[in-house]
Structure 1
Amino acid sequence: MATDVHRSVTDVHGSVTDTAAGKDPGSAPSGAAVQVAGLVRAFGDRAVIDDLQLTVQPGEFVALLGRSGCGKSTLLRVLAGLDREIEGEVLVPRRKAVAFQAPRLMPWKRVWRNVLLGLPGRPEREAAVTALDEVGLGHRADAWPKTLSGGEAQRASLARALVREPDLLLLDEPFGALDALTRIKAQRLVAELWRERGCAVLLVTHDVEEALLLADRALVMEGGRIAYETTVDLPRPRDIADPRFGALRARLLDRLGVEGSTDDGAGGTDPAEAEAEATEDRSAAAA
């Protein structure tokens, strides 16, 4: 896995740091897939990200939680290179890919052409079909996006990320608009792909159980910084009935400000999770 070549995102001063394999990447620990130091992203007078520090190791699965508006998606966009109006140092792999909550498929292009969208050169259809096969969607390669179900569209979006052979996969609430059963299937698919690919993953989510089911480490973002983190040292596949799972869930809910959480994981509901569940119900009703 080629995680030994990194490039920083251009900051507001226009500087770019390139680090070749085998050379010291500034303040980044040797071999880190992601290294962020002193990151600031402001919108006017409001700093959405304020002196943020973050390290993600190669092959590590990290989940990022936080209340709406805390800067989670902004951080992900910075790491993806989609937001460059920043200060601070950001070192990321050259090969990275992002999947958003909305699949963002072009309706006038068949599924396989959507998978190859944005790739340099003239990639062959075979590359798209291989990626679609990997997510169980090879039989829909010639379909139009409007004929896909919500789950199929999200899998096509994942295939578009995977075809780039990323060393860093960035997921911005990719399951938030799916119904409950489809979301479980999508979570299992991502877990399987991560095990097979071995790339680093940063998942932005509102769902505490999702974070604990998938991640090696769960982070909570507050005030534009990583305010809390915990290692999820549980065997895979994970069981939500495991008392250790419940204790971790309760701890994270408490950190997120959910009242009434207990050591066994029972108690209140994160307002953001409630909103996501409402979205799921609407999606299921529409289906």
Structure 2
Amino acid sequence: MATDVHRPVTAQAVHVAGLTRRFDGRAVLDDLYLDVRPGEFVALLGHGGCGKSTLLRILAGLDRDIEGTVLVPRRRAVVFAAPRPMPWKRVWRNVLLALPGKAGRSVTERALDEIGLGHRAAAWPKALSGGGAQRTSLARALIREPDLLLLDEPFGALDALSRIKAQRLVGEVWQRRGCAVLLVTPDVEEAVLLADRVLVMDGGVIAHEQRIDLGRPRGIADPRFAELRAGLLERLGFGTGPEAA
């Protein structure tokens, strides 16, 4: 019988045991196990279709047609790849959508200030850059004061410079807030740059775990960074020759 229990977890921010999710009889997630500690930053890598985003949606409570056990904090928030703000609401009202009840504008402005967008609180979404729109999504998640922040390829649509800024911002927010983070990303370099631990999914399970024992802030010029990146690329089937650089 399927078990999907969403409640606070003490020893772990996330505890998943025996998780299976089938689509048309095919197991996309197949008896998967995962633990994430409170305050830990975990990145999830894997080829397209391996189940990364399916797992994230289950942790977010958006997919309950499962077998197995899922324990997550009640306070959790998700940021998807496409920000999709409501164009008829100003930026601060888009952020406010994440809160039930009658929270005021000042609450949203504090969240926007934290991610460097306080000066655009009254702007219309169409006036924002891609990076600004994604920051709005991040503010909408942070306003919920999450114990678990779920990020589903949030930087994928950004240009190179905006991506670097957004990565740095997420790292700073995580260190300041201390919440657990699960980042789904196709980018090995991004995973090594941000995470305490990198997981590689394959065949519907966690097939490999790599702890990232680097100090912060991190730089790609560090020889150890390059070594970890190369090892993960090899796990993903890209080898370690010049073509993997």
Deviation of 1:118 (Å): 3.7
User: Alpha-carbon deviations, 1:177-232, whole Å to 9, x = none?
Assistant: 00001100000000000010000000000100100000000000000100001100
Match status 1:72 vs 2:52: yes
- Of 132, 135, 147, 1:167 maps to 147
Deviation of 1:242 (Å): 1.2
1:179 is matched with 159
- Of 217, 229, 235, 1:237 maps to 217
2:243 is matched with 267
Deviation of 1:18 (Å): 6.5
> Residues 170 and 148 of structure 1: is their aligned pair in 2 closer, same or farther, counting only changes over 3 Å?
same
- Of 76, 82, 93, 1:102 maps to 82
Match status 1:40 vs 2:20: yes
Distance in structure 1 (CA, Å) of the matches to 2:231 and 2:131? 31
Larger RCO (CA under 8 A, 6+ residues apart)? 2
Distance in structure 1 (CA, Å) of the matches to 2:81 and 2:111? 19
Distance in structure 1 (CA, Å) of the matches to 2:113 and 2:31? 41
Amino acid at match of 1:212: V
Distance in structure 1 (CA, Å) of the matches to 2:6 and 2:150? 21
Amino acid at match of 2:103: P
Deviation of 1:124 (Å): 0.9
- Of 136, 142, 160, 2:116 maps to 136
- Percent identity over paired residues: 70
| Count of aligned positions | 245
TM-score (normalizing by structure 1): 0.82
1:197 is matched with 177
Match status 1:221 vs 2:204: no
Distance in structure 2 (CA, Å) of the matches to 1:68 and 1:80? 20
1:84 is matched with 64
Runs of 4+ with deviation above 2 angstroms: 15-20, 266-269
Distance in structure 2 (CA, Å) of the matches to 1:153 and 1:215? 24
What's the secondary structure of 1:93's corresponding residue?
A: coil
> Residues 94 and 173 of structure 1: is their aligned pair in 2 closer, same or farther, counting only changes over 3 Å?
same
Distance in structure 2 (CA, Å) of the matches to 1:161 and 1:111? 14
Gaps of 5+ in 1: 1-11, 270-287
Deviation of 1:267 (Å): 3.3
Distance in structure 1 (CA, Å) of the matches to 2:4 and 2:71? 10
What's the secondary structure of 2:157's corresponding residue?
A: coil
TM-score (normalizing by structure 2): 0.96
Distance in structure 1 (CA, Å) of the matches to 2:30 and 2:105? 43
Contact 2:14/2:37 (CA < 8 Å) preserved in 1?
A: yes
